[in-house]
Amino acid sequence: MTGRAGTLGHEVVISVRGLVTRFGDHVVHDRLDLDVRRGEVLGVVGGSGSGKSVLLKAIVGLERPSAGRIVLFGEEVSRLSLRRRRELQERCGVLFQDGALFSSLSVLENVAVPLNEHTDLAPALIDQVARVKIAQVGLAPGAADKLPAQLSGGMRKRAGLARALALDPEILFLDEPTAGLDPIGAAAFDELIGYLQRGLGLTVFMVTHDLDSLSAICDRVAALVDGRLVVGTLDELRRTPHPWIEAYFGGPRGRAALEGGPALAAATVG
């Protein structure tokens, strides 16, 4: 299979089988299955409240499902010791909405948090690595000493991305990375993700509502409907006879993003 990142292998780095997630009587995931291949960018879409972010949290170990199996790098997470689970989690980086930075810490200190928690590096080396990560996501050196409140929304997301990349992860999880950004800022962030994914050989699991992101950087798309996932290329999803999928991809913004590209889709807003 050939994708935007080049030739993708068939190695499955995330495997979900029979996942069930309930909150009281409400079933969010109903025997959900998913395979994510090494080196691909997978976009996860779905209606509000469909459980996209809950799925991400379940895979990274922040949400405990009611039933089912999650296999990460070939190991079933629920059967691992706490120490081994943490070792696998260190191979994953997570960017939450708006960066989820610690408000009382500078950008440099935020990026250094995982390095302080998970490595035995000397403080001077941690400082150096953190500054490299800050530069890697396109922030100016002066951003390192700023507090999150002093940053724009796009800069906070980039700072959060730098922290997610601090431990050189193999899988990058992104939760609504372009939410709240204007079309120009969102396109720039998509470009950054694509550049980092190709350069670092990352596997990217991206929860999004942004049709432009799906068109720009995703190899496959997973639509979360009726508690399960429908997975395929954009073209395959557009031909799927399901009411929500048809409305999502067949509406004016969907047609603009997928047929005319991001610039035309942006022009349809407002």
Report residue 71: phi and psi, to 5°: -110, 120
Of residues 22, 25, 45, the one with CA closest to residue 220: 45
Quick check: 3 and 193 in contact, CB under 8 A? no
Q: What is the pLDDT at residue 48?
A: 87
Q: What is the pLDDT of residue 157?
A: 94
Whole-number pLDDT of residue 129:
97
The dihedral formed by the CA atoms of 37, 52, 231 and 198, expressed in degrees to the nearest 10: -40
| C-alpha span between 256 and 250 (Å, rounded) | 9
Residue 260 confidence (pLDDT): 56
Q: What is the pLDDT of residue 249?
A: 87
Biggest alpha carbon distance in the chain?
Answer: 57
Give the pLDDT of residue 165. 97
Structural class in CATH, domain 2-10+39-62+82-91+169-267: alpha beta
Predicted confidence at residue 3, as pLDDT, reads 44
Token pair of 48 as six digits: 């509000």
**Closest residue by Cα to residue 201 from 16, 18, 37:** 37
Asked if residues 59 and 16 have their Cβ atoms less than 8 Å apart, the reply is yes
Helix 107-118 and helix 123-136, axial crossing angle in degrees, nearest 10? 120
- How many distinct helices (H) and strands (E) make up the chain? 11, 12
Domain range annotation of the chain: 2-10+39-62+82-91+169-267
pTM: 0.90
pLDDT by residue for the chain (270 residues), tens digit each?
Answer: 334 544 455 899 999 999 999 999 999 999 999 999 999 999 999 998 899 999 999 999 888 999 999 999 999 999 999 999 999 999 999 999 877 899 999 999 999 999 999 999 999 999 999 999 999 999 999 999 999 999 999 999 999 999 999 999 999 999 999 998 999 999 999 999 999 999 999 999 999 989 999 999 999 999 999 999 999 999 999 889 899 999 998 866 665 666 655 444 443 333
- Name the CA radius of gyration of the chain, rounded: 18
